[in-house]
């Protein structure tokens, strides 16, 4: 029996698991709340929309609180879509894997040019109950240097590996997992995170250092001045992140050991 509850028919084929030259699916996830999932999903989706004006970008907000979708509705237009995915959740609040997988397939394999699909997931995400994860190209796992974040992220990554194991996916076809140190103060903070995940076969991304402006990312106001400030102050970071997402930094499957980017 499938460990995520009778949805084994949703496991992707090898063709599904290969990265499409056109459609790229990105997930920001961690079981821990307050680690920056929504903030980084916002930066990533606006970043690729800014750098690739010919592409279709869609942000899917899987959080009932609708934090990222509410913040980005002002930017929605014909090529930047914001979806509050209530239809992609079960009444229990768990992901509706069938509906999400269908959505990924329809978006990713559409023939209308290049596409980026960004998912913002809620706190409490459980990989073994979220088989749609298997259809993602990138899984970004934000965390800070706090002990609670590190402990929760260990458990989250362990469960992710269980999911891959039960699905029987070869290492070179697994989604690429990148841990993102977020809102760190010093290089020593980054090193703490690196040491705590040294045994994991994952990528370690660049650290986003503390910015006061990030605290105002979701502030309700008449203009989007707060987001302009964030993008100016974090330009090097989101340029790197969008390079990674677009494939300019070619990641080849699962690394044999922690690989710092």
The string of pLDDT tens digits covering residues 223-259 is 566 777 777 877 888 899 999 998 867 787 789 999 9
C-alpha 260/C-alpha 206 separation (Å) is 8
Ranges of the chain with pLDDT below 70: 1-22, 65-72, 211-225, 248
Question: Residue 34: helix, strand or coil by DSSP?
Answer: coil
Please state the CATH superfamily assignment of the domain spanning residues 23-260 in this structure: P-loop containing nucleotide triphosphate hydrolases (3.40.50.300)
β-partners of residue 26 are 118, 138
C-alpha 218/C-alpha 69 separation (Å) is 10
Question: Residue 174: helix, strand or coil by DSSP?
Answer: coil
pLDDT value for 38: 86
pLDDT value for 69: 67
pLDDT value for 234: 79
pLDDT in tens, 44-64: 988 898 888 889 999 998 877
DSSP letters spanning 138-177 = EEEEEE-SSHHHHHHHHHHHHHHHHHHHHHT--GGGSPEE
pTM of the predicted structure, to 2 decimals: 0.86
What are the residue ranges spanned by the domains of the chain?
A: 23-260
pLDDT value for 161: 93
pLDDT value for 211: 64
């Amino acid at each position: 029996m499938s460990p995520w509850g009778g949805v084994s028919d949703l496991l992707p084929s090898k063709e599904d698991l290969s990265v499409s030259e056109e459609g790229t699916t990105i997930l920001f996830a961690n079981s821990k709340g307050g680690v920056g999932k929504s903030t980084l999903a916002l930066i990533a989706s606006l970043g690729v929309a800014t750098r690739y004006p010919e592409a279709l970008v869609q942000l899917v907000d899987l959080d009932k609180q609708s934090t990222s979708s509410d913040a980005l509705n002002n930017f929605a237009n014909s090529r930047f879509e914001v979806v509050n995915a209530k239809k992609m959740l079960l009444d229990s609040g768990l992901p509706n894997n069938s509906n999400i997988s269908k959505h990924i397939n329809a978006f990713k394999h559409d023939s209308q040019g290049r596409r980026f699909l960004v998912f913002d997931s809620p706190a409490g995400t459980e990989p073994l109950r979220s088989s749609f994860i298997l259809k993602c190209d990138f899984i970004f796992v934000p965390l800070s240097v706090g002990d609670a974040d590190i402990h929760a992220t260990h458990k989250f990554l362990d469960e992710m590996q269980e999911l891959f194991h039960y699905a029987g996916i070869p290492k070179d076809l697994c989604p690429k997992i990148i841990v993102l140190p977020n809102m760190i103060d010093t290089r020593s903070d980054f090193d703490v995170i690196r040491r705590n995940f040294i045994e994991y076969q994952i990528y370690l991304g660049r650290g986003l250092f503390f910015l006061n402006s990030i605290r105002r990312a979701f502030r309700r106001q008449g203009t989007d001045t707060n987001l302009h400030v964030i993008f100016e102050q974090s330009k090097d970071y989101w340029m790197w992140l969008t390079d990674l997402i677009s494939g300019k930094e070619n990641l080849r499957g699962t690394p044999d050991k922690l690989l710092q980017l």
